[in-house]
Amino acid sequence: MKLKRTFIFSSFLLSGVALLSLSTALDGCKSKSAANYQLTGNVIADGEHLVKLHCTKCHSLVPAGALTKNVWRMHILPDMAAYLGIGTYGPSFYKEPKDTAGISIVHWQAIVDYYNKIAPDTLLPARHPVELQADWAGFTLKKSAQTIDIAFTTLVAANPATGNIYTSDLVANTLTEWDKQLNVSKVTGLPSAAVNANFGTDAGGKPNVLLSCIGRIDPVDFANGKIYGANLGQAKLTTGEVAIDLPRPVQTLSVDMDKDGQKDLIVLGQGYKKGGVYLIKLDAGGKAAKQFTITDRPGAVQAVSQDFNKDGYPDLMVLFGAIDEGLVLFLNNKKGDFTSRQLLRFPPVYGSTSFQLADLDHDGNAELIYTCGYNFRDSRILKPYHGLYIYKNTGNYHFKQTWFYPINGATKAIAADFDQDGDPDIAAIAFFADMKNNPAEEFIYFEQDKPMQFKPHAVPVSQYGRWMNMDVNDVNKDGKPDIILGNYASGFLFQPNFAPAWDEHQPFIVLENHIKK
């Protein structure tokens, strides 16, 4: 299903917790290549030319129609000024103009005039191809048996082997295990909140989980994130340090990248202006021994590892959700290094948040399921291009957009055959939903009733929390995938004159799957 969008936008076209800032930019973005460009006097032509020359050095082009005139003028242009070498911006700029080393004042004024002329006053909401249907869609609500003062749940994950649920909390800095009745059974402290869990076994073959402890959740260049391992096979939760001094790690994979028989760690250090994707070799005791940088590109939000080129060695596909947003394939060259291939690029207003590969139409090629919607940067307005996208894999991971459903602030999507009809369905959450006018879009279940056609169900759970994180797993071991939603109940508000009414005390809820075939 293709959607013809009516808002002003060009043909250019966001698991984990995406906590970034639009003011993030590379120090090398200043351009001098357009210094000799002579203005024609045509505001639109001059502006388009200069924007393409200067503003695509670090990221994909942001069309003027992607943001309102006010956002460009009051937020984005002042930020751009610093990276283009403009020393001042504001009233004094017009009174005392002076050239700079980055871009001439004349060219800068042409860019400002361009956005002032063609950017819209407002962004029109996108049209929904299929309207939301408010129902439970076969799911049954189960609440955690214990509540807390205010829930700041940064992680919710179920152990695939046992179905036990684990959560982490930003304020408490804990890892909590919940039993089958959703009561707290075990708790242990962490150096900082965990935002990702990777279940497996430790060096001794005992069940454990690798936890990405982010350090500072706000976007700063302060590398105090850590990877901790928690032993799950004992009467008491015990944790141990695996790796330290990482720039806001948001995901950890355990993969034997060099096929030496020992698992390595792939860590996404989202960082802020500095970050990267790292390969960590472990010693015999499961501690970090050596660290290698696969890329120093900041902003990584999620990765998938598999043998993409079928050469027998695991590769990486990584989604970046800041600065130069996009999807990158890192191919393992079997010699301890990687070659990169850019698959997709997105404008930095997208706020890329998650992706998954799944064969939705049973043609043998995995489609790309992609969400974008991080919306706590400088442009905190509802954006009609935020939502759930599906890209057709036309072969060799060349992706073409074939489906879009607008969801304000889309945060994560997970595909699974929830109704067991043989076709994958999709569960999606939106942390930056239009909570003021359309809270139903905070959680949507997309039932695939025909190939690549989805029926969206607005499951009525917005009153129980605000969902920053989600996991899909068979919690009750009945053979059907269930959905767990983690409640980050306070903060990150971006809509004026809005008072939250959801439950602030419920750490998580479970949507138990009772869908009939």
Contact 374, 352 (CB under 8 A): yes
Q: What is the rounded end-to-end Cα distance, in angstroms, of the chain? A: 24
CA–CA dist 341, 97 (Å, integer): 42
CA–CA dist 437, 112 (Å, integer): 33
* Residue 375: DSSP 8-state: -
Backbone φ and ψ of 223, nearest 5°: -80, 75
Candidates 321, 317, 254; CA nearest to 19 is 321
CA–CA dist 62, 56 (Å, integer): 9
* Fold annotation for 133-513: Methylamine Dehydrogenase; Chain H (2.130.10)
For the stretch 225-244, pLDDT in tens is 999 999 998 899 999 999 99
Q: What is the pLDDT of residue 100?
A: 46
CA–CA dist 45, 33 (Å, integer): 18
Task: Considering the chain, tell me which residue range(s) the CATH 2.130.10.10 domain(s) occupy.
Answer: 133-513
User: DSSP string of 394-408?
Assistant: -STT-EEEEEEEE-T
CA–CA dist 364, 420 (Å, integer): 19
Q: Decide if pLDDT at 306 tops 50.
A: yes
CA–CA dist 255, 274 (Å, integer): 24
Q: What is the pLDDT of residue 96?
A: 42
CA–CA dist 27, 58 (Å, integer): 9
CA–CA dist 451, 440 (Å, integer): 25
Task: Please give the distance of CA 201 from its chain centroid, rounded to a whole number.
Answer: 27
CA–CA dist 410, 446 (Å, integer): 14
Q: Which residues are CB-contacts of 154 (< 8 A; sequence separation ≥ 6)?
A: 17, 168, 169, 170, 193, 194, 195, 214, 217, 468, 469, 486, 488
Length of the chain: 517
Q: What is the pLDDT of residue 34?
A: 59
Q: What is the pLDDT of residue 204?
A: 79
For the stretch 77-136, pLDDT in tens is 988 888 888 865 444 444 444 444 578 899 999 999 999 999 999 999 999 999 999 999
Confidence of residue 33 (pLDDT cuts 50, 70, 90): low
pTM, two decimal places:
0.91
- Mean pLDDT value across residues 429-439: 97
